[in-house]
Amino acid sequence: MIDTAPNYQPIISQPRDGRVRVAAMADLHVHKDRHHDNAPLFAEISQNADILVLCGDLTNLGTPEEAQHLAKDLMALRLPVLAVLGNHDYHSGKHEELKDVLRRAGVIFLDEDETFELGGVGFAGIKGFGGGFASHMLSSFGEEATKHFVAEALKESLALEHALQRLETPRSVVLMHYVPVAATAMGEPPEIFPFLGCSRLAETIDRFNVVAAFHGHAHRGSPVGQTPKGTPVYNVAMELMMKVHRRPYLVVEV
């Protein structure tokens, strides 16, 4: 049974030093039957950051039951929490129900119509999509199936552009699930690069005053890269964070 408790209201305070500490993580893959208690982790994050961003694959199969486990743990968090969904969250076709469960736990889902601001920093987010990188990026040519694949990537890039246009803050942060630059996919098999992300996402980022971008999806990728114009890109997939930092999240001041 899905909990229908009233919405949880996080404690939102303005950073006092003009800098916002962003805790970022992705690919929690919360499982219905093999669920780990993440409440202590979220309590720890509350002490180390001003805001938490979750970059997709919050659940393993995209079910409301899995989301309920995560919602329960998030009650230990005392910060605003922003999120986008990942491919796993769409698997069961119940992503809207999943989002409803997590919204009741205080999660704010970002999309082209929903942004967030804290301490002079604007936050925009999308899921993203695949398509490949740089000169190897897939073009809209050939079969209809190929054209549909490219159209999905273009749609996500345009959604990100619309979201960033809504922000009027001097600094912006982007979160997504798919990878925007090849550098943070390095370490994954090159054969799957077209399915990990797309350079179109980085092209959109570089048209705005974005100071940091966070993503997941590439569990065996690299932790840090940058867009062609030099915006830092952080791969915060939980498996990678544990390998590199010995903890499942990253904190970046922006």
| Chain segment 165-222, per-residue pLDDT in tens | 999 999 999 999 999 999 999 999 999 999 999 999 999 999 999 999 999 999 999 9
Residue 14: the pLDDT is 55
**CATH class of residue range 21-253:** alpha beta
Tokens of 105: 């736990």
Tell me, what amino acid is at 194?
Answer: P
Instruction: Please state whether beta strands 116-118 and 232-235 pair in parallel, antiparallel, or not at all (unpaired).
Output: unpaired
Domain ranges of the chain: 21-253
Separation between Cα atoms, residue 224 and residue 180, nearest integer Å: 12
Output DSSP code: residue 41: H
Q: How does the average pLDDT of the chain come out, rounded?
A: 93
- Residues 6 or more apart whose CB falls under 8 angstroms from that of 142 comprise none
Residue 8: the pLDDT is 41
Phi, psi of 240, rounded to the nearest 5 degrees? -70, -40
pTM here is: 0.93
Pick from 60, 62, 58, 84: nearest CA to 71? 58
Which range is least confidently modeled, 32-41, 126-135, 180-189, 209-218?
32-41
Assign 7 a pLDDT band (cuts: 50, 70, 90): very low
Instruction: State mean pLDDT over 13-37.
Output: 84
Pick from 198, 233, 240: nearest CA to 219? 240
Cα dist. 64→1, 20, 85, 112, 251 in Å? Answer: 9, 31, 13, 23, 28
